[in-house]
Chains A and B, each alone.
Chain A
């Protein structure tokens, strides 16, 4: 909680602009070059359209200030000037009852202003509704409750990395419900709709580097983890971006097979952790604790699914899944096939989003779950003496 002093400081008009500033700067970083500094109303602006949006907003704001002041001043003046003591015995009768020219005036002036505002907003909108032809495409998949960004060379990331100085087009789809991608610093937003592709484009020239990014939010309500679908947008210079892209495409292949489960596993689990705990605590999905014992014929393997079958009925040579690994993989790719009792058909498919090696890493992690803490961090490295 803030102190009263702090709140008062925020309320003083002179300090308001400064107070608003940290709300917008990318994660406490000094503002990158080429950005529009934040002000009383708007956060930092870091895209090529931010300037025109802010200008439009300022125009509307000044129209609003003017009319608000006009209405309030007239209202206060009349209410004071023409007030009477209660139970007045006489009412004045000299007020006009109507005045058509005057009324037409205050019909037509707002009308003209609205036409002007509409056209200005329309022109600004046209500027950013069509992506330029030479844009750099990034595929976006939204699921409850994570984003996947896929780059032309096959690289994937959870945060958005974009090259500076060239138009970027996001080709977006959703695996489950409605989401919406919003980057306040770029002044762009578009719903991500299941069953269709939607597009969004922007260009940012303000390089942030890979340490402090701009906010990226989900703005269409999507359930429990809606407010945790916030990631960062990093704007990188050309060479830096290309290096990152190369490294990102290869990282999982460069890990040795034996090290895969603890080097790649936690990174992938970060996404699963939205719903699945490791320590047995309740979540949107069943906890991973004890899962491997259940699927491999150990403790709890007679536990029944919602459809009445048990793990033992499903998994084993000649059954629906020949090996426990097959079952795990299919649960990731076709999550609704066998629902664990007490849980809804909520999980979206991760087919096409997790590579074979990534899936292997998850399975490896499940097999040795006792080596990880409740947050999914590998504890063995930190405490080698434990074993």
Chain B
């Protein structure tokens, strides 16, 4: 195995040698692995299975909503459907999807490191995730839960469904999984950056993961405390939130959203990081306004702690607090807008490959723009009062959580798929599936904006007949979207079996993960590589013998081992 520091890129060609998948063999070697790549892959499999489960619940509830009144299940079952859909998608899928699955795989390689700072903690956090997911499934066996994913009191402490305690314990445990991943990433980024990689030379995905990790570490403990209090109230009858025992239900909402609003950014900020990578790499163009994008991630992370009250404009909190929270909420719009414009400017005068990852990045741009702009309606006090707790809110957060966070995750999955698996997927099918998902998504959720603004409340089993046309379109859209995702699953699995072998650098990427073999060897790099500007594509060129791109380090004096060293330590 050659090292990355060697000048001649031809020697980097993977020649059926040792990689992280073949390094050790057997089931045991996976479940006790400390390799961040294997842990990332295990997370990815687990998250995608959860996505399938949450998606099945979504289709069930959309099917029930085809007609007003009963379509095929009763109200209690429907209430469980939407609760499970929400809880699974938020806690099991979106929160861990990018940091724990993709981030785990990519972050150390982007840093040229062998692993994260605390590999054992990393494995531990995966087992915590499994335990938390197990508790959630256990609650299904114990009668399920119908509280909504928000667990609002006093409903959640008085409902008779039997699975409330297990799922709360599960979410509590999942929270610690998330905290440990965040701690690991913060330390890794601080301590393991290679020579030459200053803070402002990190790939933007790392800035995003860093911002996310800060939110995970600071906000998630509040969720843990809140859920702990909920269990205390439900099990020991200590009045904290329930007014019939002297508690205050609005206090619960403050606690809950103090975590759960930042959690929205735990989901979207890493997605923004992926999109920065996708756009720069597939446009083969230096990212425009690096510092503005990096600082906007940090700004979003900071603002995220100050805006939770906008979930409570109608809750009975004082008009003064509503005003303050409304004002601060708008501040989140600025860094988001900055990012969108900088991404657009990155496309300008690029050399754009219109392939599947790029298509996902462009889908993200459209959907995130809609999701972000409709946030204006909800941050504005006078219009939010009308739109609050209607389908407008449902549509808004699906555009951000699903249309943005999950679409970016799937774009990232395609982007790093050759790196993770060593195989190429069918590009044509990828682009068709992306288009199907995009169309299905907009049919499903754009109609919900109209439902909401016309007054259809959320979490409704039964509805007025005049809303039916919108629900029918929305449900048809969800079936189309499901078809797109099934197709994606199909060609990805097919690529594992019979996909073409992936070159080290199929897209023309410049950051370090494209400079080690696909799949990477166990240690990623034999020695810590030195790095230059990770968005300088002038030294990336096509190499016909590898059927892939190479980063020609001889063209960059900074990286040239023989040249005088100019890199900052």
Same complex for A and B? Answer yes
Chain A residues with a Cβ under 8 A of chain B:
1-2, 6-7, 10, 19-20, 22-24, 38, 40-43, 49, 52-53, 56-57, 60, 63-64, 67-68, 71-72, 74-75, 78-79, 82-84, 86-99, 102-103, 106-107, 110-111, 114-115, 117-118, 120-130, 176-178, 180, 182, 184-185, 187-191, 193-196, 198, 215, 217-228, 230, 343-346
List 8 A-B pairs, minimum CB-CB distance, nearest first: A195-B243, A184-B455, A124-B382, A121-B380, A344-B160, A95-B349, A125-B381, A78-B347
A92-B350 in contact (CB<8A): yes
B498 interface residue per 8 A CB criterion: no
> Apart from A2-B472, A195-B247, what are 7 other A-B pairs with CB-CB below 8 Å?
A42-B454, A98-B291, A99-B288, A118-B327, A120-B382, A121-B379, A196-B243
Nearest-CB distance from B260 to chain A (Å)? 15
A129 lies within 8 A of B319 (CB): yes
| Structural contact, A56 and B383, CB atoms closer than 8 A | yes
A176 vs B289: C-alpha distance when bound (angstroms)? 53
- Is the pair A71, B376 in contact by a Cβ cutoff of 8 Å? no
Question: Within the assembled complex, what's the spacing in Å between the Cα atoms of A118 and B327?
Answer: 6
Contact, CB under 8 Å: B288 / A43? no
Task: Check if B365 is an interface residue, CB within 8 A of chain A.
Answer: yes
Contact A107 B381, beta carbon cutoff 8 Å: no
Query: In the docked arrangement, what's the CA distance between A114 and B352, Å?
Result: 33
Contact of A2 among B244, B458, B464, B468 (CB under 8 A): B468
Q: Which residues of B contact A110 (CB under 8 A)?
A: 333-334, 337-338
0/1 string, B304-317, CB within 8 A of A gives 1: 00000000001110
Q: In the complex, what distance in Å separates the CA atom of A318 from the CA atom of B463?
A: 50
- Is the Cβ of B455 less than 8 Å from the Cβ of A227? no
Separation of A182 and B392 alpha carbons in the complex (Å): 14
Cβ A220 vs Cβ B381 within 8 A:
no
Given contacts A57-B377, A191-B314, contact A178 B365 (CB under 8 A): no
User: When chains A and B are docked, how far (Å) is the Cα of A226 from the Cα of B146?
Assistant: 12
Query: Counting CB contacts under 8 A, is B19 at the interface?
Result: no
Nearest chain-A residue to B542 (Cβ)?
Answer: A89
| Distance A1 CA – B159 CA, assembled complex (angstroms) | 34
Using Cβ atoms and an 8 Å threshold, which residues of chain A touch B292? 98, 103, 107
Query: Is B124 interfacial (CB-CB < 8 Å)?
Result: no
In the bound complex, how far is the Cα of B459 from the Cα of A182, in angstroms? 14
A7 near B472 with CB under 8 A, answer yes
Contact B369 A217 (CB under 8 A): no
- Among B94-102, B511-519, B533-541, the stretch that binds chain A is B533-541
Determine the residue in chain B with the shortest Cβ distance to A78.
B347
- Give B359's nearest chain A residue, CB to CB: A79
List of A residues within 8 angstroms of B541 by Cβ: 89
Q: Interface segment, B7-15, B50-58, B130-138, B150-158?
A: B150-158
Contact A346 B454 (CB under 8 A): no
Contact mask for chain B residues 337-356; partner A; CB cutoff 8 A; 1 contact, 0 none: 11011101111111111110
Flag if B362 contacts A224 (CB, 8 Å): no
Do B349 and A121 have beta carbons less than 8 Å apart? no
In the complex, B390 has a CB within 8 A of chain A? yes
Question: Across the interface, do A195 and B248 meet the contact criterion of CB distance under 8 Å?
Answer: yes
Expressed in whole angstroms, the minimum distance between the Cβ of B517 and any Cβ of chain A is 20
User: Which residues of chain B from 458 to 481 have any CB-CB distance to chain A below 8 Å in the complex?
Assistant: 458-464, 466-469, 472-473
Q: Smallest distance from the beta carbon of A229 to chain B beta carbons, Å?
A: 9
Contacts of A182 in B (CB 8 A): 389-390, 455, 457
Given contacts A103-B292, A117-B380, contact A92 B249 (CB under 8 A): no
Q: Are A125 and B319 in contact (CB under 8 A)?
A: yes
| 6 cross-chain CB contacts under 8 A | A20-B454, A86-B355, A110-B333, A125-B326, A194-B244, A218-B457
Q: Which of B423-437 contact A (CB under 8 A)?
A: none
From the candidates B338, B388, B464, name the one contacting A219 in the complex (CB within 8 A).
Answer: B388
B537 in complex: contacting residue of A2, A43, A91, A215, CB < 8 Å:
A91
B341 to chain A, nearest CB (A): 4
Closest-by-CB residue of B relative to A184 is B455
A91/B386 in contact, CB under 8 A: no
Closest to B146 in A: A223
Q: Which residues of A contact B288 (CB under 8 A)?
A: 95-99
B459 x A67 contact (CB < 8 A) = no
**B286 interfacial by beta-carbon distance below 8 Å:** yes
Select from chain B the residue with minimum beta-carbon distance to A193. Answer: B316
Q: Which residue of A lies closest to B386 (CB)?
A: A187
Which of A22, A93, A343 has the most chain B CB atoms inside 10 A of its CB? A93
Chain B CB within 10 A, most for which of A79, A115, A188, A225? A79
* Complex CA distance for A221 and B150, rounded to whole angstroms: 10
| Contact present for B344 and A78 (CB under 8 Å) | yes
A82 to B347, CA, bound (A): 8
Contact A107 B334 (CB under 8 A): yes
A49 / chain B contacts, CB cutoff of 8 Å: 382
CA–CA, A1 and B450, complex, Å: 19
B314 near A78: Cβ-Cβ < 8 Å: no
Within the complex, what minimum Cβ distance (angstroms) separates B306 from chain A? Answer: 15
Give B458 Cβ to nearest chain A Cβ, in Å. 7
Query: With an 8 A cutoff between CB atoms, is B66 at the interface?
Result: yes
CB of A121 within 8 A of CB of B381, answer: yes
Q: Which residues of B contact A220 (CB under 8 A)?
A: 152, 389
Please measure, in the bound complex, the distance between the C-alpha atom of A124 and the C-alpha atom of B342, giving whole angstroms. Answer: 34
Question: Are B362's CB and A75's CB within 8 A?
Answer: yes
Q: When each residue 9-31 of chain B gets 1 if its CB lies under 8 Å from chain A and 0 otherwise, what string results?
A: 00000000000000000000000
A125-B385, A129-B319 in contact; A344/B155 too (CB < 8 A)? no
| B542 adjacent to A189 (CB under 8 Å) | no
Query: Which chain B residues numbered 467 to 504 have a C-beta less than 8 Å away from chain A?
Result: 467-469, 472-473
Known: A196-B243, A346-B160. A71 touches B344 (CB 8 A): yes
Q: Which residues of B contact A89 (CB under 8 A)?
A: 541-542
Judged by a CB distance under 8 angstroms, whether B374 is at the interface is yes
In the complex, the answer to whether A84 meets B352 with C-beta atoms within 8 Å is yes
Task: Among B350, B366, B380, B542, point to the contact of A118 (Cβ < 8 A).
Answer: B380
Structural contact, B450 and A20, CB atoms closer than 8 A = yes
CA distance A96 to B76 in the complex (A): 57
The distance in angstroms between the C-alpha atoms of A93 and B459, with both chains bound, is 52
**A107 nearest CB neighbor, chain B only:** B338
What residues of chain B lie closer than 8 Å to A196, measured between beta carbons?
Answer: 243, 250, 316
A24 and B454 contact, CB distance less than 8 A: yes
- Cα A343 to Cα B75 in complex, Å, equals 17
Contact between chains at A43 and B377 (CB < 8 Å): no
Task: Name the contact of B155 in the complex, choosing from A42, A68, A177 (C-beta under 8 A).
Answer: A177
Instruction: Tell me how far the C-beta of B281 lies from the nearest C-beta in chain A, rounded to whole angstroms.
Output: 11
Q: How far is the CA of A82 from the CA of B282 in the complex (A)?
A: 11
* A224 and B382 contact, Cβ closer than 8 Å, known pairs A98-B291, A182-B389: no
Expressed in whole angstroms, the Cα–Cα distance for A217 and B247 within the complex equals 26
Check: B118 CB closer than 8 A to any chain A CB: no
User: When chains A and B are docked, how far (Å) is the Cα of A92 from the Cα of B376?
Assistant: 38
Within 8 A of A (CB), among B523-540: 537-538, 540
Query: Do the beta carbons of A94 and B349 come within 8 Å of each other?
Result: yes
Asked if B303 is at the interface (CB within 8 A of a chain A CB), the reply is no
The smallest beta-carbon distance between B320 and chain A, in angstroms, is 10
Say yes or no: is B67 at the interface (Cβ < 8 Å to chain A). Answer: yes
> In the assembled complex, which residues on chain A have CB atoms less than 8 Å from the CB atom of B352?
78-79, 82-84
B340 to chain A, nearest CB (A): 6
Measured in the bound complex, the distance between the Cα atoms of B326 and A115 in whole Å is: 11
Contacts of A68 in B (CB 8 A): 369-370, 373
Give the contacting residue for B469; candidates A2, A177, A222; CB below 8 A.
Answer: A2
Judging by beta carbons under 8 Å apart, are A125 and B472 in contact?
no
Q: Does B163 contact A (CB under 8 A)?
A: no
Task: Report the Cα distance A310→B242, complex, angstroms.
Answer: 30
| Cβ distance B397 to chain A, nearest Cβ, rounded Å | 15
Q: Which residues of B contact A215 (CB under 8 A)?
A: 455, 464
Q: Which residues of chain A are within 8 angstroms of B382 by Cβ–Cβ distance?
A: 49, 52-53, 56, 120-125, 127-128
Cβ-based interface call for B357 (8 A):
no
B158 touches A82 (CB 8 A): no
Bound Cα distance A189, B342 (Å): 38
Interface residue? B330 (CB, 8 A):
yes
**Neighbouring B residues of A122 by C-beta, 8 Å:** 323, 326-327, 381-382
Which of B243, B247, B350, B473 meets A7, CB within 8 Å?
B473
